[in-house]
Amino acid sequence: MIIIGGGIAGVSLGAELSKRGQAVTLLEAEDQLAYHTSGRSAQQLVLGYGPPAVRELTDLTVDMLLERQQVLDEPVAWPSSFMMVGTEAEIEAHAYPGQVRQDQPAVHQLLPELRSERFTAGALDERSLRTRADAMISWLVDDAEHLDIHLGEPVTGAQRTNGAWQVTTTKATYQSDVVINAAGAWADEVAQRFDVSPLGLTPLRRTAAILGIDRPISADRCMMMKVDGYYYRYEAHDAILASPQEAEPSPAEDAQPRANDIDDLIQEIQADTTLHITGVRSAWTGLRTEAADGVPVVGFDDQQPGFFWLAGQSGYGFQTSLGFARLACDLIVDGVAGPWVSAASVTALAPGRLR
């Protein structure tokens, strides 16, 4: 098997295929794994968030993650609550299954820095988890006995002959019956190198920053998200990680933060809370890639044999990673999804829906 892309999707599938005894070659264009979107994640796994197929695969991923990490010396995921805040009408319209409604006093008790006149209600999810992206990637790689990783090898061309792919990179040529496209923001571009019609996947900017604050907050403080707005969470006793959650279409590129996006974010946080931002410690921008219907793409291309899509995860990459990897492995190795996942989700994720 050949996997193109070394983010959380490609690495998770490589590890899952390896568990099934499959020899896997993973080709990553950059000189390190998870360089782009996966390495710039908010690292929060939010159950109940997203379309039905995402919610189902998130639940399955979290179950697998919590079970598998029991053998680790240190966990790669741990409980970390998440609360959406806004007006009562906004919470009524946007709360998702599994969240518990909070009145104004309860919101203020959980997030005392919020200006009470701006937020009258909340929806709390105590099932969500925090994860360490680098630790999760390392764990999956270490767990994959048959995964051969090649860094700094962008794919430059491909040809299918006698039922097998010849895949050329800047350094070598590889052969496989099946190629998995887990190239993130570059997924449509990679597909065209295989004479596969693109699916219309759109990379969207998402900026985040570590912001110093004027007073300490506790490590167990829940993550806060303003309805249709920014979020922030604990990063250190004197810092928060925050994002404006912009979703501006972008070319596939090494996206960089823009000063005005961060300035606007700081102004909004200071208007909504009593926190004073003391400085920007670091900032970055990733590209989360979406299909037109907002549902990820997992399945064989309906027009080109031996070409498998694992793309369009949007902001759900980590929280669906193990579930998507297991589903993809079933479809590739067994030719059918197992009974552990609903037929409705398999259909919803299939790439043919976008043609």
pLDDT digits (tens, 9 = 90+) for 97-145: 889 999 999 999 999 999 999 999 999 999 999 998 888 999 999 988 8
Q: Is 309 helix (H, G, I), strand (E, B) or coil?
A: strand
pLDDT digits (tens, 9 = 90+) for 294-312: 999 999 999 999 999 999 9
pLDDT digits (tens, 9 = 90+) for 250-267: 999 999 999 999 999 999
Structural domain boundaries in the chain: 2-72+132-201+292-354, 82-125+203-287
Which element (helix H / strand E) includes 298?
strand 297-300
126: phi then psi, degrees, rounded to nearest 5: -90, 5
Dihedral angle computed from the Cα positions of residues 240, 244, 250 and 254, in that order, rounded to the nearest 10 degrees: -10
pLDDT digits (tens, 9 = 90+) for 138-166: 999 998 888 999 999 999 999 999 999 99
Angle of CA points 321, 326, 329, to nearest 5°: 120
- Return the closest-CA partner of residue 202 out of 298, 353, 311, 310: 311
- State mean pLDDT over 28-55: 84
Total Cβ atoms within 10 A of residue 146: 16
**Distances 258 to 255, 263, 284 between C-alpha atoms, Å:** 9, 9, 9
Q: Is 101 helix (H, G, I), strand (E, B) or coil?
A: strand
Q: DSSP labels for 169-226? A: ESS-EEEES-EEE--GGGHHHHHHHTT------EEEEEEEEEEEESS---TTPPEEEE
The verdict on domain 82-125+203-287 having CATH code 2.20.25.90 is: no
Q: 2-72+132-201+292-354 belongs to which CATH class?
A: alpha beta
Q: Do domains 2-72+132-201+292-354 and 82-125+203-287 have the same CATH topology?
A: no
Q: Is 25 helix (H, G, I), strand (E, B) or coil?
A: strand
Radius of gyration of the chain (CA): 21
